């Protein structure tokens, strides 16, 4: 089969056509990939930065965001059928550790991730355990179904923080931050404020429902947000940039007793004034990892089927997998926001 493989310890990926089709075990499902989304994580793998070099095994098929059609099922599979249109949760666990058994499998200690720890979805076929398969509602188009993974990050963050009738600041309106704007709007947030250096993304944030979007390099905006919120600051901070500066700025905008949900991943540990921003503020800080299995997936489906989310301006480009270089470059340059590759259709 065709596949995009991290073939050497360096930048880029290799497109091969002779990769063996994976063989499903008794409880696995073999899926023919229709479309696959390029994630920020794939950017690290493409560029081969420090994180990728320390984590990604050479020879792996990359990619983890996708939609496809079930091609074959293992002998012990009971809930999936050949021909079904599906996506899948890319965090795979044995389901036996404490968190898996108490409703928090998204933070299981034995998590292995598609396209990072085991062969992923930038290929004609991918194999996943039956438990991870998510049947896609017929009203959800393929290009949206291909990005349920990052949309789930946004839904998980917004739902964990609780935004209904609250003022919200989203620092970083990249792929997930923009998704969070439309999700927060759908979840009944009051005013949504956003920050990003990129003027196009700030414009999109406003189009999707943000009351105001600021350039974080202009220092006056922190006072402006605080004044707009009783002089105290926003109720909720959603950190979605991973920028050390954004932690300081975001917490400076958060009112005492506010809730901060942190999704962004800094390149290295940031310096952070925990006394000022958390202890004396009495802030509640939530670490957000992945998506809740499968509460987030049900919430996401309901929001999509109910027509509550606007994703058309966020999924900006689609390329056939053969044009994988152009697809990755479009994403890396910032010209594209969410870039999707068509693999089989």
Ligand X SMILES: NC(=O)c1ccc[n+]([C@@H]2O[C@H](COP(=O)([O-])OP(=O)(O)OC[C@H]3O[C@@H](n4cnc5c(N)ncnc54)[C@H](O)[C@@H]3O)[C@@H](O)[C@H]2O)c1
Which stretch, 59-67, 172-180, 181-189, 279-287, contacts Zn ion (CB under 5 A)? 59-67
Q: How far is the CB of 161 from Zn ion (least distance, A)?
A: 20
* Window 237-256: residues binding ligand X (CB under 6 A): 240-243, 245-246
* Residue 63 lies near ligand X (rule: CB under 6 A): no
Partner in contact with 149, chosen from ligand X, Zn ion, none, beta carbon below 5 to 8 Å by kind: Zn ion
Query: Residue 30: which region, alpha, beta or left (left: phi > 0; alpha: psi -120 to 50)?
Result: beta
Q: Whole-angstrom Cα distance, residue 338 to residue 162?
A: 26
Instruction: Give me the catalytic one of 7, 8, 34, 44.
Output: 44
Mark 131-170 with x for binding to ligand X (rule: CB under 6 A) and - for no binding. Answer: ----------------------x-----------------
- How far apart are the two ends of the chain, measured CA to CA in Å? 15
Our answer to whether residue 41 is catalytic in this structure is yes
Q: State which of residues 35, 118, 201, 328 lies at the interface with ligand X (CB under 6 A).
A: 201
Query: Restricting to residues 150-179, which ones interact with Zn ion according to CB under 5 A?
Result: 150
One-character DSSP codes across 71-120:
EEE-TT--S--TT-EEEE-SEE--S-SHHHHTT-GGG-TT-EEBTTTB--
Rounded to whole angstroms, how far apart are CA atoms 139 and 234?
36
332 token code pair: 């890396």
Minimum distance from residue 333 beta carbon to ligand X (Å):
12
With b meaning 16 or more CB within 10 Å and e meaning fewer, what string describes 131-154?
bbbbebeeebebbbbbbbbbbbbb
296 binds ligand X (CB under 6 A): no
Which residues of the shown chain bind ligand X in the complex (CB under 6 A)?
A: 40, 153, 171-177, 195-198, 201, 216, 240-243, 245-246, 263-265, 288-290
């Amino acid at each position: 089969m065709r596949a995009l493989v991290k073939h050497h310890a360096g930048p880029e990926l290799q497109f091969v056509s002779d990769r063996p089709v994976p063989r499903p075990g008794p409880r696995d499902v073999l899926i023919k990939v229709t479309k696959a989304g390029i994630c920020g994580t794939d950017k690290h793998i493409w560029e081969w930065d420090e994180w990728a070099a320390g984590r990604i095994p050479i020879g792996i098929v990359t990619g983890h965001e996708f939609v496809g059609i079930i091609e074959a099922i293992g002998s012990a599979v009971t809930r999936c059928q050949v021909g079904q249109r599906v996506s899948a949760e890319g965090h795979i666990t044995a389901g036996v550790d404490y968190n898996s058994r108490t409703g928090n499998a998204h933070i299981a200690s034995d998590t292995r991730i598609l396209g990072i720890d085991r062969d992923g979805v930038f290929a004609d076929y991918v194999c996943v355990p039956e438990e991870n398969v998510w049947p896609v509602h017929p009203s959800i188009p393929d290009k949206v179904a291909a990005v349920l993974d990052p949309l789930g990050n946004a839904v998980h963050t917004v739902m964990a923080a609780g935004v209904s009738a609250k003022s919200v600041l989203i620092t970083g309106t990249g792929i997930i931050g923009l998704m969070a704007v439309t999700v927060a709007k759908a979840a009944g947030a009051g005013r949504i404020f956003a920050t990003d250096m990129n003027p196009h993304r700030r414009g999109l944030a406003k189009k999707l429902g943000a009351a105001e979007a600021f350039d974080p390099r202009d220092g006056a905006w922190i006072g402006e947000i605080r004044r707009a919120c009783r002089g105290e600051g926003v109720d909720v901070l959603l950190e979605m940039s991973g920028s050390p500066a954004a932690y300081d700025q975001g917490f400076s905008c958060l009112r005492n007793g506010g809730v901060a949900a942190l999704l962004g991943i800094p390149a290295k540990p940031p310096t952070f004034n925990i006394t000022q921003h958390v202890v004396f503020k009495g802030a509640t800080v939530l670490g957000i990892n992945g998506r809740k299995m499968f509460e987030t997936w049900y919430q996401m489906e309901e929001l999509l089927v109910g027509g509550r989310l606007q994703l058309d301006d966020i999924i900006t480009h689609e390329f056939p997998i053969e044009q994988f270089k152009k697809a990755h470059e479009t994403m890396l340059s910032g010209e594209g926001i969410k870039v999707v590759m068509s693999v089989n259709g």
